[in-house]
Structure 1
Amino acid sequence: MSDKLPPEEHAQQKLPPEDESYISEEKQKEILQKYDPESNTRDLSGMIKHVVFFGLLAFSLFQLYTAIFGQYTAYIQRSIHLGFALSLIFLLFPARKRKGARHKVAWYDYILALLSVGVASYWPIMYDDLVFRLGRVTELDLIVGILAVLLTLEATRRAVGMPITVISGLFLTYAFFGPYFPGFLRHRGQDLESLVQLMFYTTDGVLGTPIGVSATFIFTFLLFGSFLVKTGVGQYFNDLAVSLAGNLVGGPAKVAIFSSALQGTISGSSVANVVTSGSYTIPMMKKLGYKKEFAGGVEAAASTGGQLMPPIMGAAAFLMVEFIGGVTYWEIAKAATIPALLYFTGVWIMTHFEAKRIGLKGLSPEEMPDRKEVLKKIYLLTPILAIIVFLLIGVPTMQAALYGILLTIFVSAFNKETRLNFKDMILALVDGARTALAVAAATAAAGIIVGVVVKTGLGLSLANGLVSASGGNVLLTLFFTMLAAIVLGMGSPTTANYVITSTIAAPAIITLLMLDEPVGAAVPLVVALSAHLFVFYFGIIADITPPVALAAFAASGISGGEPIRTGFIAAKLAAAAFIIPYMFVLSPSLLMIDTTWPELIWVLITALSGMVAIGAGLIGYWYRKLNWFERIITFATGLALIYPEGMTDIIGAVLFVILFGIQWMARDKKPSKTAQA
C-alpha cells in the first residue's frame, strides 16, 4: 500500500539487547540510502524544513480533497500532482550522494523547485487556451514542455534511480531518431515540436495514464499505509510471525517469510521490506546457525515476494486495471492470489529443507513471545482485511482506501499504545506524501516510455520480433520475454517496473497467444492477465537476480554476507518464481479464470508436490540427504509435476510417490541439533 515506509519507521524493530548482531537505526538508514534511492533524502533543518513539511502536508490535503469531493479534469489533476512531487523532490533529494549535500538545499535546487511549480501551473492557468488551440504548440508551450520533460527526468534520477531515467531517455532518443534505426525498429521519427506536444500536451506522455493512477488510486492507498504504520502494525507483523512460526524447524527463517508476506501488504519496495523486517529476522537467523549469505537470501527472497502479494502488489494492481482495460481491481487481486501463495510456499519449503539438512531447531520457549498477548492485538489487521472485503463487494477503489483510513483511526483508539492523536495524523499525512514523491516521478517518467511506444508502435514491433526469433515456439518466446522483463526490471521500483515491462515485453506474449485468432480480435481477459502478470513477476524478481539484485544487496548489508552470493542464494530460494509464471500462462487455471474447482484443485496438488520435489532437489535434502543422482531425479520429477500437461502430471505423480516412499523408509531418524546461540 505504501511504496516504502518512512525512514524513521525502519528503526522500530526490537532485538534482545545482548544480541551483538543488533542493527542500529543509523545502520538501517545507511543501508536504505545506499540501496534504495527513495530513502536518499536530505536531513533538513531551519526554515526550509518547515517549508518542506507544510509542502508535503499540502500535497496530502490536496489529494484527500479531490478524493472526497471529486477530481479536476485529467490535465489539471495530474499536472498539480506532478508539480507537488517535482518541487518537493528537488528540495528533499540531493543531486549527488555527498554527506555535505544532505544538510542544506543547493541554490540551484531552489530554482528547479520554482521552475517545477511554474511548469505545473501552466495547465491550470492556460487550460482554456490550450484546449481551444487543439494541439497547436506556441513557442512558450514548447519551452514549458521541454522544461517539464527535463525536470521529470532529473527528479526521477534523484528519487528513483538511474535505470528508469536512462530507459526514458533512450526512448526519447528512439522517438526522435526513428528513421536511422535498422530493420523492424525503424519508424518515421518525431520532430521536436511533435515530441514535446506528445510528452506534455496529450495524455500519452508525462501526464499519461501512469501518473493519472498515481494522482488518484495510488496516493490514497499510500496514505492508508502511512496511517496503518503509525499504529505500529509493522512491528506487530514481526511479533505475530514469531508467535506463529518461531518455534518451528528453522523458525527465524520462516518468521522472515511470514513477516515479509505481511509487510508486503503495506510496503511497495523490496529494499524497504528487507530493511524493515530483515533488521529483525536476519540477526535471529544468524544466531540460530544459518550462514550469513543464506540468512540474507531468505529475507531478500521473502521481501521481494511481498511485491507479488495481493491485494496491493506494490501498487501495480492499480496500474493493471488501467492498462488491461475491462478488468476490475478485484479480478486482478484474485488472479494473483494463488501464484503469490505458491511463491511463498516454495520459499518456505526450501528453507525448511535447509534447516533439516544442517540440523536447526526453532526458537526456545524462553525466546518466544506470549502468543496470547500477541493475538490480543490482532485487531490491528482489521483495516487490511476490511480493504479486501470492500474491494470484494465492489466498493470503488479510492473510496475503499478512504474507508480504510477512517477505520485505521477508529481501530487504533482501542489501545493507548496504538491510539492516533492529532499529531500522529498530521505526521501520517506528511509521511504518506513523502512516500508518494518517488511514485509520482517514476510514473511520470514511465509515461514517457508509454507515449513513445504508443506513437511509434514499438511494442508491437518488439513483440513480432520476439515471436519471430523464437520461431513461434511458446516456451522459447516465454523465455525471451522473461529475460527482457528481468533486464528491464533491474533497479526499478515496483510501479515503474510494471509500466516498463508491460509496455515493452507483455505484447510479445499476447501476440503469441493470439496467433490463431483473427486479426483485430479482442484480447480475452485470461490472455491479457497471463501476459501482464508474467512480465510483472519477472520484473519484480530482478530485485534478487544478480548482477543487479538490490534487495539481496540490502540484505547482505544487514547480514554481513557477500552480496553476489546472497543474490544467487535468494534466486535459488525463489526458484518457484521462475517457474510459476510459465505455469499460469500454460495453464490459466491458476489465475482462477474460466476454470472449475476440480481442475483448480488438481493443478494446486501437482504444483505443490512439484515444489516439494524441486526444493528437495535444489537443497539436497528431503527426509535424508540426497546424492547427486537422487537430486537430479527429484528435480526432474518436480518439473514434470509442475508442467501443466496430463501425461507429465501422471509420470511426475508416480515418481513422486516412489521417491517419497524411499525417502520415508530411509529417513534420517537422528534428532536435529539444538540451535547454537
Structure 2
Amino acid sequence: MEKTNTGNEKIDLTIEEERMNSSIEKSLYNPDGWSMWKRLRQFMIAIIAITLAVYVIYYAAAGGLPAWQHRAVFTSIFLILCFSTFSYRKGKEPGHLLFDAVPLVLSIALLGHAFFSYPEIALRQGASTLFDQIVATVMILLVIEGVRRTIGHAMAILALFFWAYIFIGPIFPGILGHQGFSYGRMTDALYTTTNGIFSDPIYVASTVLILFLIFAAFMMRTGVGQFFIEFAFALTGRIRGGPALASVLSSGLLATVSGNGAANASMTGPFTIPLMKRVGYTKTFSGAVEAVASQGGQIMPPIMGAAAFVMAEYTGIPYIEVAGYALLPAILFFTVVGVVIYFQARRLGLEGIPGHQLPNFWKLVAGKGYLILPLVIIIVLMVSGYSPMRAGMWALLSVFILSLFKKESRLNVMAILAALEKGIRNAVPTVMACAGAGIIAGSVIMTGLGMAFSRFAVEMSGGQLLPLLLLIMVASIILGMGMPTVSAYVILATVAAGALTQLGVPVLVAHFFVFYFGIFSGITPPVAITSFITAGIAGSNPLRTSVYSLRVGMAGFILPYMLVYNPSLSFDGSVPSIIFGIITALLGLVAFAGFIEGCMLKITAVWERIALLVAAVLLVTDHLWTDLIGLVLLAVVFIYQWRGNDKSTTVGISTEY
C-alpha cells in the first residue's frame, strides 16, 4: 500500500499495526470471522511458542537440558509448530487428517521421545535398536517434509538425495562413490548424536538465533523499526535519489537485526518502493534496490543472521571477530549500492524529497535515539568477551527497560506475550532449514563427500586459484538458489570451503567467500526469492526485477574476490598499505558501478565505459602498478566528464528495465 502524498504534508512512514498482530492477540481480541476451532488452534500454537520462548531465555541465563536432549526437544517443538501452521498445500489452512494431522501427532510423539529416552539413547550410540532406527527415520522424513512446506521443493529434494546417498553411494563412479553404510550407522550419524540433524546449525538456532529473533520482535514492538525508517529518510531523503538511498539504509539496518532478507523486504518494501517510484525511479529499479538492500543486510554487523553464527561455530573463531571482519566489506557493499543509486539518479535527472516532507533529523535523534542502545549493548558486551547468547539476553532485557521510558513504546503484558510468540513463529522456516542442512551436512561428513568434492574441484581447476574461485562461485550460486542463507552456507562450507583452504586461502576468507555467494544467490535469477517479493510489491516483472537486482548488487559478487586477492581488506599489512588497499578497493567498485550504469556525472561514452571496466578489474588486486593504472583510468574518465558536464545533460532519460 502506498503511504505517500502529493501535497506539503509530511510523508507517512508509519508501519501498519496489523503487521505486528500475533495469533494470541487475534485469537483473544480480533477473531475477524474465525471459528471457535480456529481461535482455539491459534491460541494453543501461541501458548506453545510463548512457552518455548520463555525456555530459550531461561536457557540463555541459567542453562537447561543436556545438549542432545535440548536440541531434540527444540527441533520437535518446531516440527509441531510447522505442521500446525503450514499446510501440505501452499496457501491452505492445516487440517487434512492424513497429511496434516498425522505429521503433527508424530511430531508430538517425537517430543515425548526426546524427553523420556535420554540418557538411555546416548548410551546406545553405536548399537542402536530397531526402535531407534524407526524413530530416526520418522524424524528425518518429518524434517524433510517441514523443509518442503516452509522453504520449498528444491532444498527438500536435496536433503532427501543426500540422505539416500548414504546407502546408494556404492553405485556412483570414481571419487563420488563410497563403500556404503548400514542403517544403524546412519541412525547414529544423523539422529542419536549431535553430528547430523542436531549438529551446529540446530545448536546455533536453539541458542543464539532464536534469542536474536525474539530480540528483533521486541525491537519492532518498541518502535525501533519505525525509528530506523524515519532515521534513514531524515538522513538521506533530501539527497539526489534520496528515497532509494533511504531504502538502502533503512532496509540494511532492519535486516541486520532480523537476519532475513525476504522477511525484511516484506516489511519495508511497502513504504520504500512507492516513495522511489514517486520521485521517478522505474518500478523495476525500485523493486531491485529494495531486494538488494534487504538481502545485503545479512552481511552487516552486529547481527548478521544465523549463517554468521554458524560460521563462528564451524571455524572456531569468536563471533565478534567474524563480525569485525565483515564490517569493512559490508560498508563497501552498501557504499557502492548507494553510488549505483546516485548514478542512476543522475542518469534520470532525479532530485530528493523536499525537506518539509521529511522527519526532522535532530528532533528524531533527540526523541528516539535511545532506542538504538540495545544494539550498542550487544556490540559492547561481545567485545568485552560475552558470548552472543549472553549478549543477546542482556540486550533483550535492555529493550524491555528502555520501553518503559515513554508511553508510546511501553510494553504491556499482551505486547510482551505477542513479541515472544512472534519471535518463535518467525523462526519456523529458519529452524526447518537448519535441521535440513544438518541432514545434508551429516551425510556429507559421514560419506566423505566433502573431501572428495574438494579434491575434485582442485583437480578441475588445475590447482589454480582463480579457476577454483569461479567454479565454487557457480556452485555456490546454484546451490543457494531458493534456499535460506543458513542452508546454503552450511552446504557450501561443508563441501567447498575446504578446497579453497587447500590452495592457501585463509580459513575465514574461504568461509566468507561461500557465505557471500550464498547470500546473494537470493537476488540471482532465475530463483531470486527476495527479488520476487519486492517485484510483487512494486508491480514489476519478477524475472526482470531479479536481473536488475543482480545489476544493482553486483558489488556483492566482486567483494568475495577482493577479500581473496586484497589482504588489505583483512587488515593484513602495514597501516599505509591497508589504507591504500581500502581506497583502491572502494574506487574499483565505484568504477564498476559506473560501468554497470553507463553513467557517472553524465552518461558515459563507449570508450569511457570500457575504461571504467578495465579500471575496476585492475583495482581488484592488491598490486601497486595495476592499482596505479586503474586509478589513472578512473581519473581520466572522471575529469573528462567533469569538464564536459555543463555541455551534456542527463535529465529526462528514463528507461523501464
TM-score range, shorter chain: over 0.9
Indicate yes or no: 2:323 matched with 1:333: yes
Contact 1:334 1:591 in 2 (8 A): no
Offset of residue 24 of structure 1: 11
- Which residue, out of 111, 115, 121, partners 1:124? 115
Structure 1: how far apart are the matches of 2:14 and 2:482? 24
Code of the aligned partner of 1:573: V
Match 1:481 to one of 472, 483, 489: 472
Question: For 1:340-351, what aligned pairs fall within 5 Å after superposition?
Answer: 340-351=330-341
CA contact (8 A) 1:360 1:675 kept: no
Offset of 1:667 from its aligned partner?
A: 1.6
Return the offset for 1:23: 12
1:200 deviates by 0.7
Match of 2:587 in 1: 609
SS state of the match for residue 127, structure 1?
coil
Return the alpha-carbon distance in structure 1 between the equivalents of residues 622 and 374 of structure 2.
Answer: 37
- The answer for the alignment partner of 1:650 in structure 2 is 628
Quick one: which of 559, 566, 576 aligns to 1:580?
Answer: 559
Shift of residue 263, structure 1, vs aligned partner: 1.0
Q: Is the 1:361–1:674 Cα contact (8 Å) retained in structure 2?
A: no
Q: Does the CA-based 8 Å contact 2:302-2:375 persist in structure 1? A: no
Matched residue, 2:447: 456
- Structure 1 SS opposite 2:540: coil
Please point out which of 552, 559, 564 is paired with 2:531: 552
Residues 1:321 and 2:304 aligned together: no
Q: Is the 8 A contact 1:614 1:635 kept in 2?
A: yes
Q: Report the equivalent of 1:228.
A: 219
> Kindly tell me: are residues 357 and 87 of structure 1, through their superposed partners in 2, closer, same or farther at Cα, counting changes over 3 Å?
same
Do the aligned partners of residues 355 and 416 (structure 1) sit closer, same or farther apart at CA in structure 2, a change above 3 Å counting? same
Structure 1 SS opposite 2:117: helix
Higher mean alpha-carbon deviation, 582-591 vs 146-155, is at: 582-591
The answer (yes or no) to whether the contact 2:170–2:179 under 8 Å persists in 1 is yes
Q: In structure 2, what is the Cα distance between the partners aligned to 1:224 and 1:632?
A: 48
Q: Find the aligned partners of 1:397 and 1:645 in 2 and give their Cα distance.
A: 38
Give the structure 2 partner of residue 38 of structure 1: none
Query: Matches of 1:134 and 1:183 in 2, distance apart?
Result: 31
Query: Where in structure 2 are the equivalents of 1:19-30 lying within 5 Å?
Result: none
Alpha carbons of structure 1 residues 435 and 27: separation in structure 2 relative to 1, 3 Å:
closer
Return the match for 1:465 from 456, 465, 478.
456
Matched, 1:660 2:638: yes
Q: How many Å apart are 1:107 and its aligned residue?
A: 5.8
Aligned equivalents of 2:214, 2:291: Cα separation in 1: 26
Q: Which amino acid counterpart does residue 551 of structure 1 have in structure 2?
A: T
Structure 2 match to 1:64: 57
AA of the residue aligned to 1:470: S
Which of 22, 43, 51 matches 2:44? 51
Q: Distance in 2 between matches of 1:292 and 1:651?
A: 38
The whole-number CA distance in structure 1 between the counterparts of 2:340 and 2:227 is 25
Match of 2:81 in 1: 88
Matched, 1:562 2:553: no
The number of residues matched between the two structures is 636
Contact 1:361 1:675 in 2 (8 A): no
Note the C-alpha offset of 1:494. 2.1
Distance 1:356 1:223 in 2: 41
How far has the Cα of 1:110 moved from its partner?
2.9
Which deviations, in whole Å up to 9, do the C-alpha atoms of 1:86-143 show, x marking residues without a partner? 0111101111124xx3275656423322211222332431223223333211121111
CA distance in 2, matches of 1:671, 1:646: 36
* Mapped contact 1:350–1:619 kept (Cα < 8 A): yes
- Partners of 2:610 and 2:402 in 1: CA distance: 52
**Is the 8 Å Cα contact of residues 346 and 575 (structure 1) preserved in structure 2?**
no
TM-score w.r.t. the length of structure 2 is 0.92
Question: How many angstroms does 1:16 deviate by?
Answer: 3.9
Point out where structure 1 has 5 or more consecutive residues left out of the alignment.
1-10, 30-42, 515-526
CA change 1:26–1:169 in 2 (3 A) is farther
Per-residue displacement from partner, 1:456-488 (whole Å, max 9, x unpaired)?
111111111111111112111100000111111
Deviation per residue, 1:175-197 (Å, 9 max, x gap) = 11111011210111123232123
Q: Which moved more, 1:575-584 or 1:664-673?
A: 664-673
Q: CA deviation at 1:64?
A: 1.7
1:364 corresponds in structure 2 to 354
Q: Deviations over 1:133-190 (max 9, x none)?
A: 3321112111111111111111121122222211111111211111101121011112
Q: Distance in 1 between matches of 2:321 and 2:625?
A: 31
Aligned 8 A contact 2:88 2:94 in 1: no
Matched, 1:304 2:295: yes
For 2:618, the equivalent position in structure 1 comes to 640
Cα pair distance change 1:267/1:528, threshold 3 Å: same
Gaps of 5+ in 2: 21-33
**Mapped partners of 1:668, 1:351: distance in 2:** 21
Match for 1:424: what amino acid? A
Q: Report if the CA contact (8 A) 1:269-1:307 is conserved.
A: yes
Report deviation, 1:441: 1.4
Partner of residue 166 from structure 1, selected from 151, 157, 172: 157
Q: Is the 8 A contact 1:354 1:619 kept in 2?
A: yes
1:444 pairs with 2:444: no
What SS is found at the alignment partner of 1:177? helix
Cα deviation, residue 287, structure 1: 0.8
Native 8 Å contact 1:485 1:535 kept in 2 = yes
> Is the contact made by 2:566 and 2:620 (CA closer than 8 Å) also made in structure 1?
no
Residue identity over aligned pairs, in percent, reads 38
Amino acid at match of 1:63: V
TM-score, length basis structure 1: 0.90
After the TM superposition, which residues 189-200 of structure 1 pair with which residues of structure 2 at under 5 Å, given as runs?
Answer: 189-200=180-191
SS of alignment partner, residue 380 of structure 1: helix
